[in-house]
Amino acid sequence: MEVNSIRVALINPGPLEGVKSQEMLQISPPLGLLYLSAVLKAENYHVDLLDLVAYQYNATQVMKWIKQKDPDIVGFSTLIIPSSCVSAAVMAKEIKSWNPNIKIVFGNKHATYNDVRILKKYPFIDVCVRNEGEYTFLELINTIVKGQPLKSVRGITYSSNGNIIRNDDRALIRNLDELPFPDRKSLKYNYKMKFGLLDLAPYGFSSILASRGCPHNCSYCYGRDYMSYRMRSPENIIDELELLENENYRMVNFVDDNFTVNKKWGGKICALMKKRKIDIDWVCEGRVDQVSLELLSSFRRSNCRAIFYGIESANQETLNYFNKKTTPAQAELAVDKARRARIPFIIGSFILGAPNERIQDIRNTLKFTWKLDIDFPFINLLFTSPGTGIWKDLVDKQLLDEEKYWEGGVQVLDIISKAGSKNRIIGLMQQTLREFFVRKDFIFKQIFRFFSNSYKLHAAIKVATSNIQNFRNFRGAGSFMMAKKAVNQPGEDSKTHM
Protein backbone atom coordinates (compact mmCIF):
# COMPACT_ATOMS: atom_id res chain seq x y z
CA MET A 1 0.00 0.00 0.00
CA GLU A 2 1.11 3.59 -0.68
CA VAL A 3 0.42 6.29 1.88
CA ASN A 4 -1.40 8.62 -0.51
CA SER A 5 -3.70 5.81 -1.67
CA ILE A 6 -4.92 4.89 1.83
CA ARG A 7 -8.37 6.16 2.72
CA VAL A 8 -9.37 6.45 6.38
CA ALA A 9 -12.94 6.96 7.62
CA LEU A 10 -13.50 8.20 11.17
CA ILE A 11 -16.95 7.80 12.71
CA ASN A 12 -18.44 9.23 15.89
CA PRO A 13 -21.28 6.71 16.47
CA GLY A 14 -24.77 7.60 17.64
CA PRO A 15 -28.28 6.07 17.67
CA LEU A 16 -28.64 4.49 14.26
CA GLU A 17 -32.27 5.32 13.66
CA GLY A 18 -31.99 8.98 14.59
CA VAL A 19 -33.90 8.63 17.87
CA LYS A 20 -33.19 11.65 20.02
CA SER A 21 -32.35 10.88 23.61
CA GLN A 22 -31.18 12.71 26.68
CA GLU A 23 -27.70 11.40 26.02
CA MET A 24 -27.65 13.80 23.07
CA LEU A 25 -29.00 17.04 24.55
CA GLN A 26 -25.60 18.65 23.98
CA ILE A 27 -24.06 17.91 20.60
CA SER A 28 -20.46 19.09 20.48
CA PRO A 29 -17.72 18.58 17.90
CA PRO A 30 -15.94 15.22 18.41
CA LEU A 31 -12.57 16.75 19.26
CA GLY A 32 -10.83 13.39 19.56
CA LEU A 33 -11.61 12.52 15.95
CA LEU A 34 -10.79 16.05 14.80
CA TYR A 35 -7.34 15.75 16.39
CA LEU A 36 -6.87 12.36 14.73
CA SER A 37 -7.86 13.77 11.37
CA ALA A 38 -5.38 16.62 11.70
CA VAL A 39 -2.53 14.26 12.63
CA LEU A 40 -3.30 11.88 9.76
CA LYS A 41 -3.68 14.64 7.17
CA ALA A 42 -0.31 16.04 8.21
CA GLU A 43 1.11 12.69 7.06
CA ASN A 44 -0.77 12.91 3.74
CA TYR A 45 -3.48 10.37 4.52
CA HIS A 46 -6.92 10.90 3.04
CA VAL A 47 -9.47 11.24 5.87
CA ASP A 48 -13.27 11.43 5.83
CA LEU A 49 -15.24 12.08 9.02
CA LEU A 50 -18.86 11.36 9.96
CA ASP A 51 -20.47 12.56 13.19
CA LEU A 52 -23.56 10.40 13.67
CA VAL A 53 -24.43 12.10 16.96
CA ALA A 54 -25.00 15.25 14.90
CA TYR A 55 -26.35 13.83 11.64
CA GLN A 56 -28.32 10.90 13.11
CA TYR A 57 -28.07 8.71 10.03
CA ASN A 58 -29.80 5.36 9.97
CA ALA A 59 -27.95 2.16 9.07
CA THR A 60 -28.79 2.46 5.37
CA GLN A 61 -27.44 6.01 5.21
CA VAL A 62 -24.26 5.00 7.02
CA MET A 63 -23.58 2.22 4.55
CA LYS A 64 -24.28 4.55 1.63
CA TRP A 65 -21.70 6.96 3.03
CA ILE A 66 -19.17 4.15 3.56
CA LYS A 67 -19.61 2.87 0.00
CA GLN A 68 -19.14 6.39 -1.37
CA LYS A 69 -15.93 6.93 0.61
CA ASP A 70 -14.67 3.36 0.07
CA PRO A 71 -12.18 3.43 2.98
CA ASP A 72 -9.36 1.00 3.71
CA ILE A 73 -9.58 1.63 7.47
CA VAL A 74 -12.58 2.67 9.58
CA GLY A 75 -12.09 4.03 13.09
CA PHE A 76 -14.91 4.37 15.62
CA SER A 77 -14.71 6.62 18.70
CA THR A 78 -16.68 4.56 21.22
CA LEU A 79 -18.07 5.55 24.61
CA ILE A 80 -19.52 3.19 27.20
CA ILE A 81 -23.14 3.99 26.42
CA PRO A 82 -25.38 1.86 24.15
CA SER A 83 -25.95 4.60 21.58
CA SER A 84 -22.19 4.65 21.02
CA CYS A 85 -20.58 1.25 21.59
CA VAL A 86 -23.48 -1.00 20.55
CA SER A 87 -24.29 1.14 17.52
CA ALA A 88 -20.61 1.06 16.53
CA ALA A 89 -20.56 -2.74 16.70
CA VAL A 90 -23.68 -2.98 14.52
CA MET A 91 -22.15 -0.64 11.95
CA ALA A 92 -18.80 -2.41 12.06
CA LYS A 93 -20.46 -5.74 11.29
CA GLU A 94 -22.28 -4.26 8.29
CA ILE A 95 -19.10 -2.68 6.98
CA LYS A 96 -17.10 -5.88 7.37
CA SER A 97 -19.84 -7.87 5.63
CA TRP A 98 -19.71 -5.48 2.70
CA ASN A 99 -15.91 -5.52 2.46
CA PRO A 100 -13.99 -8.03 4.63
CA ASN A 101 -10.70 -6.32 3.71
CA ILE A 102 -11.54 -3.12 5.60
CA LYS A 103 -9.71 -2.84 8.90
CA ILE A 104 -12.08 -1.96 11.78
CA VAL A 105 -10.58 -0.05 14.72
CA PHE A 106 -12.30 0.94 17.96
CA GLY A 107 -10.95 3.72 20.19
CA ASN A 108 -11.86 5.93 23.19
CA LYS A 109 -12.97 4.78 26.65
CA HIS A 110 -14.92 1.71 25.54
CA ALA A 111 -11.85 0.38 23.72
CA THR A 112 -9.58 1.35 26.61
CA TYR A 113 -11.45 -0.48 29.36
CA ASN A 114 -13.24 -3.22 27.42
CA ASP A 115 -10.66 -4.04 24.73
CA VAL A 116 -10.42 -7.79 25.37
CA ARG A 117 -14.19 -8.20 25.82
CA ILE A 118 -14.83 -6.29 22.58
CA LEU A 119 -12.53 -8.49 20.51
CA LYS A 120 -13.93 -11.67 22.05
CA LYS A 121 -17.54 -10.72 21.41
CA TYR A 122 -17.02 -9.10 18.00
CA PRO A 123 -14.42 -11.00 15.93
CA PHE A 124 -15.00 -8.66 12.98
CA ILE A 125 -13.31 -5.83 14.93
CA ASP A 126 -9.59 -5.94 14.23
CA VAL A 127 -7.94 -3.55 16.70
CA CYS A 128 -8.69 -1.55 19.85
CA VAL A 129 -6.68 1.63 20.42
CA ARG A 130 -6.31 2.38 24.14
CA ASN A 131 -5.99 5.79 25.80
CA GLU A 132 -4.80 8.74 23.69
CA GLY A 133 -5.16 7.84 20.06
CA GLU A 134 -3.27 10.37 17.93
CA TYR A 135 0.15 8.75 17.69
CA THR A 136 -1.05 5.19 18.33
CA PHE A 137 -3.51 5.33 15.44
CA LEU A 138 -0.95 6.97 13.17
CA GLU A 139 1.64 4.30 13.92
CA LEU A 140 -0.99 1.58 13.50
CA ILE A 141 -1.86 2.85 10.02
CA ASN A 142 1.80 3.24 9.06
CA THR A 143 2.41 -0.34 10.17
CA ILE A 144 -0.55 -1.64 8.18
CA VAL A 145 0.61 0.28 5.10
CA LYS A 146 4.06 -1.29 5.34
CA GLY A 147 2.60 -4.73 5.83
CA GLN A 148 4.48 -5.16 9.11
CA PRO A 149 3.32 -7.10 12.20
CA LEU A 150 1.45 -5.13 14.86
CA LYS A 151 3.50 -6.40 17.80
CA SER A 152 5.62 -3.22 17.90
CA VAL A 153 2.68 -0.78 18.10
CA ARG A 154 2.28 0.34 21.70
CA GLY A 155 -1.21 1.06 23.01
CA ILE A 156 -3.22 -1.43 20.96
CA THR A 157 -5.06 -4.72 21.53
CA TYR A 158 -5.69 -6.90 18.50
CA SER A 159 -6.61 -10.36 17.28
CA SER A 160 -4.06 -12.58 15.55
CA ASN A 161 -4.63 -16.19 14.52
CA GLY A 162 -7.45 -16.60 17.02
CA ASN A 163 -5.47 -15.04 19.88
CA ILE A 164 -6.03 -11.66 21.53
CA ILE A 165 -2.76 -9.78 22.00
CA ARG A 166 -2.48 -6.77 24.29
CA ASN A 167 0.62 -4.70 23.57
CA ASP A 168 2.26 -2.50 26.19
CA ASP A 169 0.71 0.89 26.93
CA ARG A 170 1.92 3.93 25.04
CA ALA A 171 3.21 6.85 27.09
CA LEU A 172 0.90 9.85 27.23
CA ILE A 173 1.74 12.88 25.13
CA ARG A 174 3.72 15.15 27.41
CA ASN A 175 3.95 18.22 25.18
CA LEU A 176 0.41 18.94 23.99
CA ASP A 177 1.61 21.96 22.03
CA GLU A 178 3.19 19.64 19.45
CA LEU A 179 -0.24 18.47 18.28
CA PRO A 180 -1.87 20.24 15.32
CA PHE A 181 -5.11 22.07 15.96
CA PRO A 182 -8.27 19.98 15.47
CA ASP A 183 -9.42 19.60 11.86
CA ARG A 184 -12.74 21.40 12.33
CA LYS A 185 -13.12 22.09 8.60
CA SER A 186 -13.77 18.40 7.98
CA LEU A 187 -17.23 18.77 9.56
CA LYS A 188 -19.79 21.21 8.18
CA TYR A 189 -22.39 20.73 10.89
CA ASN A 190 -23.66 23.82 12.74
CA TYR A 191 -22.95 22.88 16.35
CA LYS A 192 -24.73 24.84 19.07
CA MET A 193 -23.95 25.72 22.68
CA LYS A 194 -26.77 24.33 24.80
CA PHE A 195 -27.75 24.19 28.44
CA GLY A 196 -30.39 21.50 28.47
CA LEU A 197 -32.57 22.32 25.46
CA LEU A 198 -31.68 26.02 25.53
CA ASP A 199 -29.65 27.28 22.57
CA LEU A 200 -27.26 29.94 23.87
CA ALA A 201 -25.09 29.92 20.76
CA PRO A 202 -27.25 29.10 17.75
CA TYR A 203 -24.30 29.54 15.38
CA GLY A 204 -20.52 29.92 15.41
CA PHE A 205 -19.92 27.47 18.26
CA SER A 206 -17.11 24.99 18.83
CA SER A 207 -15.29 23.33 21.71
CA ILE A 208 -11.64 23.56 22.66
CA LEU A 209 -9.36 21.57 24.94
CA ALA A 210 -6.72 23.48 26.91
CA SER A 211 -5.59 20.56 29.07
CA ARG A 212 -5.95 16.81 29.35
CA GLY A 213 -6.71 14.70 32.37
CA CYS A 214 -7.39 15.84 35.92
CA PRO A 215 -5.26 15.83 39.09
CA HIS A 216 -8.26 14.77 41.16
CA ASN A 217 -9.78 11.33 41.54
CA CYS A 218 -13.57 11.61 41.82
CA SER A 219 -15.02 8.11 42.04
CA TYR A 220 -17.72 8.64 39.38
CA CYS A 221 -15.10 9.76 36.86
CA TYR A 222 -12.17 8.01 35.19
CA GLY A 223 -9.69 9.83 37.41
CA ARG A 224 -6.01 10.58 37.34
CA ASP A 225 -5.07 6.90 37.13
CA TYR A 226 -6.56 6.94 33.64
CA MET A 227 -4.90 10.09 32.32
CA SER A 228 -2.46 12.34 34.15
CA TYR A 229 -2.97 16.08 34.09
CA ARG A 230 -1.17 18.08 31.39
CA MET A 231 -1.68 21.65 30.17
CA ARG A 232 -1.11 23.31 26.85
CA SER A 233 0.84 26.56 26.99
CA PRO A 234 -1.31 29.71 27.20
CA GLU A 235 0.32 30.95 23.98
CA ASN A 236 -0.67 27.81 22.08
CA ILE A 237 -4.24 28.07 23.35
CA ILE A 238 -4.49 31.71 22.29
CA ASP A 239 -3.16 30.83 18.82
CA GLU A 240 -6.05 28.39 18.41
CA LEU A 241 -8.60 30.89 19.73
CA GLU A 242 -7.29 33.49 17.28
CA LEU A 243 -7.69 30.98 14.45
CA LEU A 244 -11.25 30.21 15.57
CA GLU A 245 -12.14 33.89 15.68
CA ASN A 246 -10.75 34.37 12.18
CA GLU A 247 -12.95 31.48 11.04
CA ASN A 248 -16.04 33.28 12.44
CA TYR A 249 -16.54 31.24 15.57
CA ARG A 250 -18.23 33.33 18.26
CA MET A 251 -18.41 31.01 21.27
CA VAL A 252 -16.26 28.14 22.53
CA ASN A 253 -16.66 25.69 25.36
CA PHE A 254 -13.47 24.73 27.18
CA VAL A 255 -14.21 21.05 27.67
CA ASP A 256 -11.35 20.49 30.10
CA ASP A 257 -12.33 18.34 33.06
CA ASN A 258 -11.28 21.25 35.26
CA PHE A 259 -10.29 24.65 33.85
CA THR A 260 -9.55 26.14 37.27
CA VAL A 261 -6.78 23.78 38.43
CA ASN A 262 -3.94 26.29 38.02
CA LYS A 263 -4.79 29.90 38.80
CA LYS A 264 -1.56 31.31 37.32
CA TRP A 265 -2.10 29.41 34.07
CA GLY A 266 -5.77 30.41 33.84
CA GLY A 267 -4.93 34.02 34.61
CA LYS A 268 -2.30 34.13 31.89
CA ILE A 269 -4.74 32.74 29.32
CA CYS A 270 -7.15 35.55 30.19
CA ALA A 271 -4.40 38.19 30.06
CA LEU A 272 -3.34 37.02 26.61
CA MET A 273 -6.95 37.09 25.41
CA LYS A 274 -7.07 40.76 26.33
CA LYS A 275 -3.59 41.53 24.98
CA ARG A 276 -4.30 39.94 21.60
CA LYS A 277 -7.86 41.31 21.54
CA ILE A 278 -9.58 37.95 21.23
CA ASP A 279 -13.28 38.78 20.91
CA ILE A 280 -14.90 35.41 21.49
CA ASP A 281 -17.29 34.27 24.23
CA TRP A 282 -16.43 31.19 26.23
CA VAL A 283 -17.65 28.74 28.85
CA CYS A 284 -15.69 26.48 31.22
CA GLU A 285 -15.97 23.98 34.06
CA GLY A 286 -14.44 24.45 37.50
CA ARG A 287 -14.19 22.96 40.97
CA VAL A 288 -15.77 24.83 43.85
CA ASP A 289 -12.58 24.62 45.91
CA GLN A 290 -10.27 26.03 43.22
CA VAL A 291 -11.69 29.43 42.34
CA SER A 292 -10.82 32.87 43.62
CA LEU A 293 -12.55 36.20 43.08
CA GLU A 294 -9.44 37.43 41.27
CA LEU A 295 -9.42 34.48 38.84
CA LEU A 296 -13.15 34.67 38.17
CA SER A 297 -12.93 38.42 37.58
CA SER A 298 -10.21 37.83 35.00
CA PHE A 299 -12.48 35.23 33.40
CA ARG A 300 -15.31 37.74 33.10
CA ARG A 301 -13.04 40.49 31.70
CA SER A 302 -11.93 38.12 28.93
CA ASN A 303 -15.53 37.21 27.94
CA CYS A 304 -16.28 34.16 30.09
CA ARG A 305 -20.06 33.95 29.81
CA ALA A 306 -20.77 30.93 32.00
CA ILE A 307 -19.07 28.69 34.51
CA PHE A 308 -20.20 25.14 35.20
CA TYR A 309 -19.56 23.98 38.78
CA GLY A 310 -19.49 20.31 39.73
CA ILE A 311 -21.35 20.70 43.04
CA GLU A 312 -22.85 17.19 43.04
CA SER A 313 -24.46 16.98 46.50
CA ALA A 314 -25.62 18.81 49.61
CA ASN A 315 -24.59 15.84 51.77
CA GLN A 316 -21.02 15.54 52.99
CA GLU A 317 -21.28 11.76 53.26
CA THR A 318 -22.16 11.56 49.58
CA LEU A 319 -19.37 13.96 48.63
CA ASN A 320 -16.97 11.75 50.56
CA TYR A 321 -18.22 8.69 48.68
CA PHE A 322 -17.60 10.55 45.42
CA ASN A 323 -14.11 11.41 46.72
CA LYS A 324 -14.78 15.03 45.80
CA LYS A 325 -12.78 16.48 48.71
CA THR A 326 -15.15 19.46 48.75
CA THR A 327 -17.92 20.66 51.06
CA PRO A 328 -21.38 22.22 50.53
CA ALA A 329 -20.05 25.39 52.16
CA GLN A 330 -17.35 25.62 49.49
CA ALA A 331 -20.03 25.33 46.82
CA GLU A 332 -21.95 28.25 48.30
CA LEU A 333 -18.78 30.34 48.47
CA ALA A 334 -17.79 29.50 44.89
CA VAL A 335 -21.21 30.55 43.59
CA ASP A 336 -21.00 33.77 45.58
CA LYS A 337 -17.57 34.53 44.10
CA ALA A 338 -18.86 34.00 40.58
CA ARG A 339 -21.76 36.36 41.34
CA ARG A 340 -19.39 39.01 42.69
CA ALA A 341 -17.22 38.59 39.60
CA ARG A 342 -20.37 39.20 37.52
CA ILE A 343 -20.07 36.10 35.38
CA PRO A 344 -23.42 36.12 33.53
CA PHE A 345 -24.46 32.49 33.93
CA ILE A 346 -23.69 30.09 36.76
CA ILE A 347 -24.60 26.43 36.26
CA GLY A 348 -24.51 23.77 38.95
CA SER A 349 -24.28 20.02 38.37
CA PHE A 350 -25.84 17.62 40.89
CA ILE A 351 -25.80 13.82 41.15
CA LEU A 352 -28.49 11.75 42.84
CA GLY A 353 -28.52 8.05 43.58
CA ALA A 354 -25.32 7.16 45.42
CA PRO A 355 -25.60 3.66 46.96
CA ASN A 356 -25.90 4.90 50.55
CA GLU A 357 -28.23 7.84 49.89
CA ARG A 358 -31.65 7.79 51.51
CA ILE A 359 -34.68 9.76 50.41
CA GLN A 360 -33.91 12.61 52.82
CA ASP A 361 -30.43 12.93 51.31
CA ILE A 362 -32.05 13.22 47.89
CA ARG A 363 -34.40 15.91 49.16
CA ASN A 364 -31.50 17.81 50.77
CA THR A 365 -29.66 18.04 47.46
CA LEU A 366 -32.77 19.08 45.58
CA LYS A 367 -33.44 21.82 48.14
CA PHE A 368 -29.80 22.88 47.82
CA THR A 369 -30.36 23.75 44.15
CA TRP A 370 -32.80 26.39 45.37
CA LYS A 371 -30.55 27.69 48.13
CA LEU A 372 -27.63 28.30 45.80
CA ASP A 373 -27.78 31.46 43.72
CA ILE A 374 -27.36 29.65 40.39
CA ASP A 375 -29.05 30.23 37.05
CA PHE A 376 -29.42 26.63 35.89
CA PRO A 377 -29.28 23.32 37.76
CA PHE A 378 -28.29 20.14 35.92
CA ILE A 379 -29.57 17.18 37.93
CA ASN A 380 -28.21 13.77 37.06
CA LEU A 381 -28.79 10.20 38.15
CA LEU A 382 -25.54 8.50 39.07
CA PHE A 383 -24.20 6.41 36.21
CA THR A 384 -21.21 4.11 36.38
CA SER A 385 -19.14 2.24 33.82
CA PRO A 386 -15.86 0.30 33.61
CA GLY A 387 -12.85 2.40 34.57
CA THR A 388 -14.51 4.45 37.30
CA GLY A 389 -13.95 4.09 41.03
CA ILE A 390 -17.63 3.47 41.72
CA TRP A 391 -17.71 0.63 39.18
CA LYS A 392 -14.78 -1.05 40.90
CA ASP A 393 -16.30 -0.53 44.34
CA LEU A 394 -19.63 -2.10 43.36
CA VAL A 395 -17.93 -5.00 41.57
CA ASP A 396 -15.69 -5.65 44.58
CA LYS A 397 -18.76 -5.68 46.84
CA GLN A 398 -20.50 -8.06 44.41
CA LEU A 399 -23.32 -5.56 43.92
CA LEU A 400 -22.71 -5.19 40.18
CA ASP A 401 -22.45 -7.91 37.55
CA GLU A 402 -19.81 -6.52 35.19
CA GLU A 403 -20.48 -9.20 32.58
CA LYS A 404 -24.03 -7.87 32.31
CA TYR A 405 -23.25 -4.16 32.16
CA TRP A 406 -19.73 -3.79 30.71
CA GLU A 407 -20.98 -2.72 27.30
CA GLY A 408 -23.38 0.03 28.28
CA GLY A 409 -22.75 0.94 31.88
CA VAL A 410 -25.62 1.22 34.35
CA GLN A 411 -27.48 3.73 36.47
CA VAL A 412 -26.68 2.84 40.05
CA LEU A 413 -30.34 3.15 41.07
CA ASP A 414 -31.08 0.21 38.78
CA ILE A 415 -28.99 -2.11 40.92
CA ILE A 416 -29.05 -0.65 44.44
CA SER A 417 -31.14 2.01 46.17
CA LYS A 418 -31.87 2.97 49.75
CA ALA A 419 -33.91 5.98 48.61
CA GLY A 420 -36.83 4.17 47.03
CA SER A 421 -37.72 3.58 43.41
CA LYS A 422 -36.05 5.38 40.55
CA ASN A 423 -39.41 6.62 39.32
CA ARG A 424 -40.07 8.25 42.66
CA ILE A 425 -36.71 10.04 42.56
CA ILE A 426 -37.26 11.15 38.97
CA GLY A 427 -40.62 12.55 40.03
CA LEU A 428 -38.94 14.61 42.75
CA MET A 429 -36.37 15.85 40.25
CA GLN A 430 -39.06 16.95 37.82
CA GLN A 431 -41.03 18.70 40.54
CA THR A 432 -37.91 20.52 41.77
CA LEU A 433 -37.05 21.72 38.28
CA ARG A 434 -40.58 22.86 37.48
CA GLU A 435 -40.67 24.91 40.65
CA PHE A 436 -37.06 26.15 40.36
CA PHE A 437 -37.76 28.41 37.40
CA VAL A 438 -41.06 29.89 38.65
CA ARG A 439 -39.97 30.96 42.13
CA LYS A 440 -40.73 34.65 42.68
CA ASP A 441 -37.33 35.49 44.16
CA PHE A 442 -35.59 33.71 41.26
CA ILE A 443 -37.67 35.57 38.66
CA PHE A 444 -37.07 38.97 40.28
CA LYS A 445 -33.31 38.34 40.47
CA GLN A 446 -33.17 37.24 36.86
CA ILE A 447 -35.10 40.29 35.67
CA PHE A 448 -32.75 42.59 37.55
CA ARG A 449 -29.68 40.80 36.24
CA PHE A 450 -30.93 40.78 32.67
CA PHE A 451 -31.23 44.56 32.68
CA SER A 452 -28.01 45.18 34.60
CA ASN A 453 -25.90 42.94 32.38
CA SER A 454 -25.95 43.69 28.64
CA TYR A 455 -24.69 40.24 27.67
CA LYS A 456 -27.32 38.53 29.79
CA LEU A 457 -30.06 40.72 28.31
CA HIS A 458 -29.01 39.89 24.76
CA ALA A 459 -28.71 36.22 25.71
CA ALA A 460 -32.21 36.29 27.23
CA ILE A 461 -33.67 37.68 24.01
CA LYS A 462 -31.78 35.11 21.96
CA VAL A 463 -32.87 32.27 24.24
CA ALA A 464 -36.48 33.45 24.24
CA THR A 465 -36.69 33.67 20.45
CA SER A 466 -34.90 30.34 19.92
CA ASN A 467 -36.62 28.29 22.59
CA ILE A 468 -40.32 29.16 22.81
CA GLN A 469 -41.27 25.60 21.91
CA ASN A 470 -38.95 24.15 24.55
CA PHE A 471 -40.78 25.83 27.40
CA ARG A 472 -44.26 24.61 26.60
CA ASN A 473 -45.37 22.29 29.38
CA PHE A 474 -42.04 22.96 31.15
CA ARG A 475 -40.12 21.02 28.51
CA GLY A 476 -37.31 23.57 28.80
CA ALA A 477 -37.07 23.16 32.54
CA GLY A 478 -37.23 19.41 32.26
CA SER A 479 -34.29 19.43 29.91
CA PHE A 480 -32.05 20.18 32.86
CA MET A 481 -32.69 16.73 34.26
CA MET A 482 -30.25 14.27 32.77
CA ALA A 483 -30.90 10.55 32.60
CA LYS A 484 -27.38 9.83 33.75
CA LYS A 485 -24.15 11.39 34.84
CA ALA A 486 -21.86 12.14 31.92
CA VAL A 487 -18.38 11.56 33.24
CA ASN A 488 -17.03 14.03 30.65
CA GLN A 489 -18.69 16.76 28.58
CA PRO A 490 -21.31 15.35 26.13
CA GLY A 491 -20.06 14.89 22.66
CA GLU A 492 -16.92 15.12 24.31
CA ASP A 493 -16.33 12.13 25.92
CA SER A 494 -14.27 11.71 22.79
CA LYS A 495 -12.14 14.70 23.68
CA THR A 496 -8.71 13.13 23.52
CA HIS A 497 -9.19 9.77 21.95
CA MET A 498 -10.08 8.25 18.63
Residue 2 pLDDT: 58
Helix (H, G, I), strand (E, B) or coil at 62: helix
Residue in 57, 108, 105 with CA at minimum distance from that of residue 79? 108
1-14 burial code (b ≥16 CB/10 A, e <16): eeeeebbbbbbbbb
Residue 283 CA: distances (Å) to CA of 185, 255, 304, 451? 22, 9, 6, 21
Tell me how far apart the alpha carbons of residues 205 and 183 are, in angstroms, rounded to a whole number.
15
Question: Of 482, 498, 493, 399, nearest to 79 (Cα)?
Answer: 493
Angle subtended at Cα 465 by Cα 463 and Cα 468, rounded to the nearest 5 degrees: 90
Cβ proximity of 77 and 494 under 8 Å: yes
User: Could you give the CA distance from residue 51 to residue 35 in angstroms, rounded to a whole number?
Assistant: 14
Q: Are strands 198-201 and 73-77 parallel, antiparallel or unpaired?
A: unpaired
Q: Under DSSP, is residue 2 helix (H, G, I), strand (E, B) or coil?
A: coil
**DSSP classification of residue 414:** G
Q: What pLDDT score does 413 carry?
A: 97
- Name the pTM for this structure: 0.91
pLDDT score for 349: 96
**What pLDDT does 81 receive?**
86
What confidence score (pLDDT) does residue 203 get? 74
Question: Does residue 475 contact residue 13 with C-beta atoms inside 8 Å?
Answer: no
Three-state secondary-structure class, residue 158? strand
Cα of 10 vs its chain's centroid, Å: 18
CA distance 111 to 34: 18
Q: What is the pLDDT of residue 485?
A: 36
Which residue type occupies 257?
D
What stretches in the chain show pLDDT beneath 50? 18-24, 467-479, 483-494
pLDDT tens across 266-323, in order?
999 999 999 999 999 999 999 999 999 999 999 999 999 999 999 999 999 999 999 9
pLDDT for position 483: 39
H and E: helices and strands count for the chain: 19, 20
- Domains of the chain with bracketed CATH: 3-166 (3.40.50.2300), 190-467 (3.80.30.20)
Predicted local confidence at residue 480, as pLDDT? 54
